[in-house]
Amino acid sequence: MLTRILTALVLAPLVIAAAWLAPDTIGAALVVAAAALAAWEYVALFSLKESRTLHVVATGWVTLGPALAFLPPHYLLVWLFCSPMVALAIYLVAADRIPKALHEGPGIGMGALYVGLLMASVVLLARLPGWGGSGLIMLFAVVWLGDSGAYFGGKFLGRHKLHPRVSPKKTIEGSLFGLAASAGGAFLIHQVCGSPLSVPLLLAAGLGGGIAEQIGDLCESVLKRSAGVKDSGALLPGHGGMLDRIDGLLFAAPIVYGLYVFALSGGGL
């Protein structure tokens, strides 16, 4: 527990500073770096680390998605369309893995969507003209406060299991406490940093993003259980791997990004 807190105290201020001071350059570049680390861990869940060629190529392809979010949208679209082809074509240069292609190939293709495309939405959020810093920090607040609220709410108030087959320690009480914290985080950032979101959209960002964050956490637990591992990696002391740290953020990011785009385009509510 102490290690987890110390890691957060060291990294969180650095991430927030980058997000606020230079969201469209340094902040977005850090997102791409995090995507690369998460992609490496994700690909390893399929035992692809047994093949250095497949591991490196698949990781590079997944990471290319967030990197292309720096360019006009059609580049990202071409990458998305090509992902299924690449997920299978790489077995032409890794013949020793062909017997496992039916299992691993679709997994690599899903990785392009799960890690690559969802992290691309974080880069797009960071690069919103005038609002990238606010958007990133709101996303972090919704995810981090929701995660912390669920943890402490479950620890002190938890009685009823949320989904024991996937995550035995999570509780319904903790989940509700986490949603309240996510909603509070959205309104807090709106007051402190400003945002283009109206009150209904702030509620949507907090509650919608909070629900998505919790689903993302559970979904990554499904992947780890399927792979037979406790954590996706050991990069962050007390937190596991990078994928463990951003699992909820992956699902919440499109919600927050979509609401910012909606508000900036003159959408109602």
User: Please, is 43 exposed, middle or buried when counting C-beta atoms within 10 Å of its C-beta (0-12, 13-18, 19+)?
Assistant: buried
Q: Which domain holds residue 79?
A: 2-264
Say how many residues make up the chain: 269
Coil vs helix vs strand at 209: helix
Instruction: Please list the pLDDT of the chain residue by residue as tens digits (269 residues).
Output: 656 666 777 788 899 999 999 999 999 999 999 999 999 999 998 776 677 888 899 999 999 999 999 999 999 999 999 999 999 998 888 878 888 888 888 988 999 999 999 999 999 999 999 999 999 999 999 999 999 999 999 999 989 999 999 999 999 999 999 999 999 999 999 999 999 999 999 999 999 999 999 999 999 999 999 888 888 888 877 678 999 999 999 999 999 999 999 999 987 67
Question: Domain total for the chain?
Answer: 1
Q: Where are the alpha helices (DSSP H) in the chain?
A: 2-21, 28-44, 52-68, 73-89, 101-111, 118-126, 132-157, 172-192, 199-203, 209-227, 242-264
11 found inside a domain: yes
269 found inside a domain: no
Cβ partners under 8 Å of residue 118, min gap 6: 250, 251, 253, 254
**What is the number of other CB atoms lying within 10 angstroms of the CB of residue 42?**
29
59 found inside a domain: yes
Angle between helices 172-192 and 132-157 (to 10 degrees): 150
